[in-house]
Amino acid sequence: MRYKTLRQFYQEKYGDRTFKVPVDAGFSCPNIDGTITRGGCTYCNIHSFTMVEEGDITSQVKLRIDKLKEREIFNYIIYFQSYSNTHAPLNIMRRRIEAALVDDAIRGIYIGTRSDVIEDNKLDYLAQLNTKYDVMVELGLQTANNITLMQTNRGHSVENFVEGVRRCQEVGLEVCAHAIFGLPGENMDDYKRTAELIAALNVDMVKFHNLEIIKGTAMAKMYKNGEIQLPTEDEYVEAVSYGIAVMPPKTIVSRLQGEAVESMLLATSVTHNKNLLINKIHKYMDEHNLKQGTLHTGKMPKIYGEFSL
Ligand code: SF4
């Protein structure tokens, strides 16, 4: 195996096919609602995320699970994906999460959020849930370059992300880190440093994304004005291959590309054909003798740039 895939991990852990059940639980994002900034990350359009079922939280889960049962899939991970799913007072967050826990075959809960909105009381609650379900907190780093984080209006620093990961790990929660390769102004050195930083934190899962230009975003305007040049597909393949090779063996490589809904996509330089991209990555890794862990050192790279809001 070149790397540890999500399918392999699920198979080992649950012994059967396991699918995610995406939920929109009605949270907002502190980077959109003014808690931290307004406008959101310049690449973000929340409507480009995975489609969920209709209705309230419980209905969304039940409807999707019914469909999965028809396909003979009997293990489920509840995936709170849209917005920042810890961005609410604890009692509200708790009510929303528990509204989704409506089937005995729910094995895990994955919570997409930001490193700046996971206060201690929420961590304690998630740690408590973790005694019954496999709880994973998904945190976006996107880049280990603070200058890029400021330019993309990310609203938090690399240091804040590092602290967020460590706080989750301290209470026993698993962590998934997200990276984007191709943000404006960045090059291969940035992509490699981003992967190295994630690897040094020994996270449980990583998701790599190529920068996709999504309609209706600030970046779409920049792209139309000719201010953004996307990396080539070959450059992206090199970046992801390196990213996999620096990860420790324990890290699940869960995603290899952006997954924006096609109708929302303005531009991308990487094929949306998953198999084609995977084959290219595998070919590159084989040609360069790379496997997960081959280049892992565990050393924290230097964080580039100072952050201020
Ligand atoms: S990418 Fe995430 S953190 Fe950034 S604006 Fe969108 S929902 Fe908020």
Task: Catalogue all structural domains in the chain, each as residue range(s) with its CATH number.
Answer: 6-287 (3.20.20.70)
Closest ligand 1 atom, CA of 112? 2
- pTM of structure: 0.97
- Cβ atoms within 10 A of the Cβ of 210, count? 23
- Mutate-to-test residue for ligand 1 from 36, 44, 139, 180, highest number of ligand atoms within 8 A of CB: 44
Low-confidence residues in the chain, pLDDT < 70: 49-50
pLDDT of residue 160: 98
Tell how far the Cα of 186 is from the centroid of ligand 1, in angstroms: 20
pLDDT of residue 259: 86
Average pLDDT, the chain: 96
pLDDT of residue 129: 98
pLDDT of residue 261: 87
pLDDT tens sequence across 225-249: 999 999 999 999 999 999 999 999 9
Ligand 1 binding pocket (C-beta < 6 A) is 29, 31-32, 40-41, 44, 46, 83-84, 114
pLDDT of residue 165: 98
Tell how far the Cα of 159 is from the centroid of ligand 1, in angstroms: 18
Tell how far the Cα of 286 is from the centroid of ligand 1, in angstroms: 35
Of all protein residues, whose CA lies closest to atom 7 belonging to ligand 1?
83
Closest ligand 1 atom, CA of 40? 5
Of all protein residues, whose CA lies closest to atom 4 belonging to ligand 1?
41
